[in-house]
């Protein structure tokens, strides 16, 4: 594809001057603003270091709502408001204990309860362990071999996949559904290998889903670090009659009131057409959620800050939404869609950042062929900023429920090779985020929003 800049045939002293198009010049201004005058990094620093973890229903989540609302109000937007949403409240409780025992020997393992899990009995539980690689292998064993045992799901993420989210999706079912399926067969608990491509000692949490099984069938679910999983598997082969002791005290309470945080720049030409950019404000409780998804939230806020800094007035209404409860319920995304329907709103575009604050590489796009081709045609505009990926694919969990006629949905795609080192783990902290990479992501988001706002969607 030929470059979109205009070759201006102006010769001064033998030098040819190339005049940039309006779009090229605006993207240059966007990147300059983000790389020299951004607020996203200190915003993230406060969320991470002062507030900390932000699990739905927690004090941290409440503080994050108030903080981000106050920061959006400093930008001079047309509207800043809170949108009520009822969210689940799950509390981890005391630190989990897990060890393998054979004879008088014990091996302790790094574990953590999966989100939404039930507790063990107060005294803990102790049972033999049966190792499986998949839900299918579990089902094939049947109740006779599973009942009264602890099921150990030990299927690692496939390192052959360069697309790490493909590796993640290829094994996350054991975390989300393992406890439910093992509980149906009479297992006492499940231990799940962490969703992590590297070997380390950090257990990674994440939601487990019991579905509609009875309370009696709901069994404790815990994650084990990848190093722990390797050692446990090896130990079970050496000591097949060993037992595993597990104790965790997590608890689920009644739903509580929380909020989506919304800021808005009213469109100058089509205020009735809405373009959304957002991330999820909640995080798991082990770290402080800097990559997942504090980064996406502050990048989304930064988009509006960039437009204010460069004096850009959007044609369509631009709305930043910091969604609550993506991690264990998607209540915020669902409530946003419910309110959108009640208000008969017309959303034409939605952009989400929920893949970490690493260097941006491109966008995954949910759109018809005409709009996909339209966005892909802007590739040359992004080449100077090392953005090259324009692919069809999943955009984001929180914008997933959002439905309007002709809506286009896009997800920011950063380099994901290190993302699962931190995902849902205690090391997802502020020091893991690079300031410049965070700002480059915000600039990429602002750029595609600008281009969509200027050019509209294909119908």
Measure the CA–CA gap between 19 and 422, rounded to whole angstroms. Answer: 44
Q: Which two tokens stand for residue 457?
A: 């969607």
List all residues 6 or more positions away from 35 whose beta carbon is below 8 Å from its beta carbon: 436, 439, 440, 443
C-beta separation of 316 from 267 below 8 A: yes
Query: Does 326 participate in catalysis according to the annotation?
Result: yes
| Burial tier of 64 (Cβ tally within 10 Å: 0-12, 13-18, 19+) | buried
DSSP labels, 91-106: E--SPPEEEEEETTEE
Q: Which two tokens stand for residue 281?
A: 């404000």
> Which of 86, 34, 93, 55 minimizes the C-alpha distance to 307?
34
Beta-sheet pairing, 251-265 with 79-91: antiparallel
Q: How many CB atoms lie within 10 A of CB 163?
A: 12
Measure the CA–CA gap between 354 and 412, rounded to whole angstroms. Answer: 8
| Burial tier of 238 (Cβ tally within 10 Å: 0-12, 13-18, 19+) | exposed
Please name the residue that has the structure tokens 């959007």: 314
Distances (CA, A) of 130 to 108, 141, 158, 313: 18, 10, 22, 61
Alpha carbons within 13 angstroms on the beta-carbon side of residue 220 total: 30
> Which of 344, 296, 312 minimizes the C-alpha distance to 452?
312
Please name the residue that has the structure tokens 């014990």: 106
| Distance, CA of 315 to chain centre | 29
Measure the CA–CA gap between 222 and 185, rounded to whole angstroms. Answer: 18
C-beta separation of 284 from 424 below 8 A: yes
Q: How many residues does the chain have?
A: 459
Measure the CA–CA gap between 379 and 275, rounded to whole angstroms. Answer: 21
Choice among 96, 131, 326, 345 that is catalytic: 326
CA dihedral over 205, 335, 302, 168, signed as positive or negative: positive
Which residues are paired to 265 by β-bridges? 318
Active site residues: 326
């Amino acid at each position: 594809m030929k470059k979109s800049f205009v070759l201006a045939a102006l010769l001064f002293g033998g030098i040819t001057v190339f005049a940039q198009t309006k779009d090229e010049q605006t993207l240059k201004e966007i990147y300059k603003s983000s790389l020299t005058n951004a607020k996203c990094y200190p915003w993230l620093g406060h969320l991470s270091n002062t507030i900390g973890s932000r699990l739905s229903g927690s004090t941290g989540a409440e503080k994050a709502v108030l903080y981000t609302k106050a920061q959006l109000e400093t930008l001079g937007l047309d509207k800043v408001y809170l949108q009520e949403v009822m969210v689940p409240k799950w509390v981890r409780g005391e630190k989990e204990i897990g060890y393998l025992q054979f004879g008088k020997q014990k091996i302790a393992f790094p574990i953590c309860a999966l989100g939404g899990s039930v507790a063990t009995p107060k005294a803990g539980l102790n049972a033999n362990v049966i190792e499986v690689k998949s839900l299918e292998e579990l089902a094939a064993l049947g109740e006779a071999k599973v009942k009264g045992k602890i099921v150990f799901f030990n299927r690692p993420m496939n390192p052959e996949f360069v697309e790490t989210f493909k590796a993640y999706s290829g094994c996350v079912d054991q975390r989300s559904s393992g406890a439910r399926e093992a509980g149906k067969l009479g297992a006492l608990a499940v231990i799940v290998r962490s969703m992590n491509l590297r070997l380390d000692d950090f257990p990674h949490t994440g939601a487990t889903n019991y579905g509609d099984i009875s309370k009696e069938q709901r069994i404790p679910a815990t994650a084990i670090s990848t190093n722990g999983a390797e050692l446990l598997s090896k130990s079970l082969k050496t000591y097949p009659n060993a037992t595993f002791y597990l104790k965790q005290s997590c608890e689920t309470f009644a739903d509580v009131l929380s909020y989506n945080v919304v800021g808005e720049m009213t469109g100058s030409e089509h205020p009735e057409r809405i373009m959304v950019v957002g991330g999820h404000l909640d995080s798991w409780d082990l770290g402080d959620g800097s990559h997942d998804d504090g980064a996406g939230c502050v990048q989304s806020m930064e988009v509006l800050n960039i437009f204010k800094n460069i004096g850009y007035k959007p044609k369509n209404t631009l709305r930043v939404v910091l969604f609550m409860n993506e991690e264990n319920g998607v209540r915020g995304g669902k409530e946003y869609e419910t309110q959108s329907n009640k208000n008969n709103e017309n959303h034409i575009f939605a952009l989400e950042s929920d893949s970490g604050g690493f260097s941006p590489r491109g966008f995954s796009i949910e759109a018809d062929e005409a709009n996909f081709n339209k966005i892909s045609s802007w590739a040359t505009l992004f080449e100077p900023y090392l953005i090259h990926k324009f692919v069809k694919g999943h955009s984001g969990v929180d914008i997933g429920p959002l439905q309007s006629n002709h809506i286009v949905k896009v997800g920011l795609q950063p380099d994901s090779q290190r993302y699962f080192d931190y995902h849902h783990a205690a090391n997802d902290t502020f020091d893991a985020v690079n300031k410049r990479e965070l700002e480059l992501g915000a600039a990429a988001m602002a750029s595609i929003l600008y281009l969509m706002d200027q050019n509209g969607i294909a119908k």
